[in-house]
């Protein structure tokens, strides 16, 4: 990934925040991208070059260790003796069985997963079906690059905290999240295409609409848990980076959904009086 290889046509979802002691960049990520989506918009490489520290949602390396994989397996599985039928409504269970049949997936393995883990697994499987993989995602690209370049790498959350996002939901919420995921399968390719286009263009309004299009007003609790509570929890970390010049410029790379729409990290910072501006090559 070199600056000379990047096109200046796409702005991307990057913001610059000026603080009393330092500058912070907030870069929205798409976790799984296609090889054809590379290179990334130029703003990503430029803000990375200006930063001495890179902060991700979690330490990606921790997910690759035996301990991390064991944690994911342990926290992603249903409690001993419990079945998916105990957790899901008949309607959602029917959609899930239909999905398994259509995709010819190993039901005996997947039916041991908690509904939240199933929802995440299905989302990733559908993205990979159309050629989008984690190794092309924004986090993976810059995690490798930051470590090769010797930049300080920090995580906002642990793997356990991320998995607890799903495990901490009640059964009705997990059922709802899985049903939303299954109902979107038929349009997954179209949805991903629209999301990536909005992300490349830096169209925050369009991106928020696309990311939230399947959520109903009664799903406010899900959005609060998956997005809004985490945005508020990250705010003190971002503010500390803005106050303390000792760490130099910090680049935060988080899911683009955390940076657009109501109660986003961007809107929370603006509400506190920080100067937040979209940032691109043509800045």
The verdict on residue 18 lying in a domain is yes
The stretch 134-152 carries a mean pLDDT of 96
Crossing angle, helix 159-167 and helix 66-76, to 10 degrees? 10
- With beta carbons less than 8 A apart as the criterion, state whether 185 and 122 touch: yes
What does the pLDDT read at residue 283?
Answer: 52
The verdict on residue 263 lying in a domain is yes
The verdict on residue 283 lying in a domain is no
Q: What confidence tens digit (pLDDT) does each residue in 17-62 have?
A: 999 999 999 999 999 999 999 999 999 999 999 999 999 999 999 8
Domain count, the chain: 1
Cα–Cα nearest to 68, from 171, 155, 177: 155
Considering only residues 4 and 215, tell me which one the structure prediction assigns the higher pLDDT.
Answer: 215
Q: What one-character-per-residue DSSP string does 110-164 give?
A: HTTB-HHHHHHHHHHHHHHHTTEEGGGSHHHHHHHHHHHHT-EEEESS-HHHHHH
Ranges 1-5, 139-143, 222-226: which has the least confidence: 1-5
Cα–Cα nearest to 50, from 21, 20, 16: 16
Question: Which residues are registered as beta bridge partners of 53?
Answer: 152, 250
Does residue 120 have a pLDDT over 90?
A: yes
Percent helix, strand and coil across the chain, each to the nearest 5: 60, 15, 30
Does residue 8 have a pLDDT over 60?
A: no
Sheet holding 275-278, edge to edge: 152-155, 53-56, 250-255, 23-29, 14-18, 275-278
The residue range of the domain holding 76 is: 3-278
Per DSSP bridges, beta strands 250-255 and 23-29 are parallel
Helix (H, G, I), strand (E, B) or coil at 24: strand
Ranges 185-189, 216-220, 243-247: which has the least confidence: 243-247
**What's the CA gap between 168 and 219, in Å, rounded?**
15
The verdict on residue 163 lying in a domain is yes
- With beta carbons less than 8 A apart as the criterion, state whether 115 and 84 touch: yes
Q: What one-character-per-residue DSSP string does 75-107 give?
A: HHBPPTT--HHHHS-HHHHHHHHHHHHHHT--H
- With beta carbons less than 8 A apart as the criterion, state whether 43 and 1 touch: no
The verdict on residue 240 lying in a domain is yes
Q: What's the predicted TM-score (pTM) here?
A: 0.93
The verdict on residue 170 lying in a domain is yes
Q: What confidence tens digit (pLDDT) does each residue in 231-279 have?
A: 999 999 999 999 988 878 999 999 999 999 989 999 999 999 999 999 9
The verdict on residue 175 lying in a domain is yes
The verdict on residue 176 lying in a domain is yes
């Amino acid at each position: 990934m070199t600056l000379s290889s990047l096109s200046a046509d796409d702005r991307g979802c990057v913001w610059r925040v000026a603080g009393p002691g330092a500058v912070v960049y907030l870069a929205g990520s798409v976790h799984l991208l296609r090889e054809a989506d590379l290179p990334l918009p130029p703003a990503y490489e430029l803000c990375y070059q200006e930063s001495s520290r890179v902060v991700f949602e979690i330490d990606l390396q921790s997910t690759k260790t035996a301990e991390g994989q064991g944690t994911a397996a342990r926290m992603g599985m249903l409690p001993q003796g419990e079945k998916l039928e105990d957790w899901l409504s008949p309607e959602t269970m029917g959609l899930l069985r239909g999905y398994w049949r259509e995709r010819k997936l190993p039901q005996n393995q997947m039916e041991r997963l908690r509904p939240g883990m199933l929802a995440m697994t299905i989302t990733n499987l559908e993205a990979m079906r159309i050629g989008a993989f984690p190794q092309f995602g924004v986090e993976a690209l810059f995690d490798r690059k930051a470590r090769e370049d010797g930049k300080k790498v920090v995580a906002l959350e642990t793997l356990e905290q991320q998995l607890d996002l799903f495990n901490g939901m009640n059964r009705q919420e997990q059922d709802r999240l899985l049903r939303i995921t299954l109902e979107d399968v038929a349009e997954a390719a179209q949805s991903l295409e629209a999301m990536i286009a909005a992300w490349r263009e830096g169209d925050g309004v369009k991106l928020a609409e696309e990311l939230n299009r399947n959520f109903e007003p009664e799903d406010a609790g899900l959005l609060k848990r998956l997005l809004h509570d985490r945005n508020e929890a990250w705010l003190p970390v971002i503010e500390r980076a803005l106050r303390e010049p000792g760490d130099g410029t910090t680049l935060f790379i988080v899911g683009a959904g955390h940076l657009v729409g109501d109660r986003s990290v961007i809107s929370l910072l603006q509400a506190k009086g920080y100067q937040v501006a979209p940032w691109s090559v043509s800045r």
